[in-house]
Amino acid sequence: MAAEIKPCLDGVQVLELGSSIAGPSATRHLADLGATVWKVEPPAGDQLRTWGTRAPDGSSYWFKGHNRGKRLVSFDVRRAEDAAAVRKLALSVDIVIENFRPGWLAQYGLDAQSLRAEKPSLIYLSISGYGQDGPMAGQPGYGAIAESMGGFRHITGEPDGPPMRMGISIADELAGLNASVAVLAALHARDRDGVGETIDISLVESVFSILESVLPEYVHAGKVTKRVGNQLTTAAPSNVYPTCDEQWIAIAGNGEGIFRRMAAAMGRPELAEDPRYADNHARVANMAALDAEIVRWTKTLTLDELDGVLARAGVPAGPILAIDAIVAHPQIRARAAVRMLRDEQGIDVATYGPVPHLSERPIQLASAAGAVGRDQALLPS
């Protein structure tokens, strides 16, 4: 009989000393992959429990999905006996992830230096606004500030409008992804040579690191990237375009072959031969005129008609979907990208399906997060 194939992180123990979004996001990824995650909340609970629409038990649905699959325990680390209990738990796990202000946990003996001095194999990861050193290290740093200081909001919005927020907590989610990648790399290295790691993740740097061409174009050409709305400034056409039924469609017809197919689909094959649009450099230089040509065409068709025409032509395109349309979309349904989980009180919670689809060790989502301290009895003695 073949041996049972266990989840990727089966047997890995993680302690989360986090709250809100970034730290819990990192540990959610690890829990999805099969790690046992101990989430420590204060007696009043993680503040995310109060954000957004509440479930019947008073905790937000967001919290319940964001902390799925974790073991929920409660301690007040400001009390000596609770700090000692959390320290004991920290020294029993493989990974500790925290997202408090630098230095705050040190007063309770729960910082990386204290714990790794006793257990060198421990992997300890900290997420903070600005990182663990530098002149701003000790200042509070939330995602909104990181998006601003990291450059994201400066380039987001319409040219004549104010800097804009994306609509989600992108800095926190990016930091969570960076954190999960880092601890997996450190776990592999520790299993190879027995030495743990101290990992420092900054919200600001998580945002700054995805600015793509903004940095090299400034350093090498003196260009300070401005807000340009929905245009892609390095390739054209790439924008969102209105339809005759007052919808919007995103079209990325910026490859050479793709643009030829798009021009043919528009009934305007001569556009591909026009010197203004003959290659990407020319199209970028004449972006406004080209977009005007495309708008004249898209406004003659409905969203469904455009989607079909462009799909048949092999042109990357897609409707701008609100959440109701996303949930109903056949591609989202086919990929099970929306899941329903139940907590211990029988409350059903909608949550996102895991992004990695694994062939040999498919991810099985566990229950939604429930009451504060729900799993206290499961703590190791």
Instruction: Give the list of residues 6+ apart from residue 93 with CB closer than 8 angstroms, or none.
Output: 13, 14, 15, 38, 122
Q: Measure the CA–CA gap between 38 and 57, rounded to whole angstroms.
A: 21
Phi-psi region of 233 (alpha: psi -120 to 50; beta: other; left: phi over 0): alpha
Per-residue tokens: 106: 């040190």
CB burial of 348-381 (b: ≥16 within 10 Å; e: otherwise) equals ebebeebeeeeeeeebebeebbbebebbeeeeee
Q: Measure the CA–CA gap between 11 and 33, rounded to whole angstroms.
A: 11
94 is catalytic: no
Q: Which residue has tokens 């420092």?
A: 200
Active-site option among 32, 172, 291, 343: 172
Which residues are tagged catalytic? 172
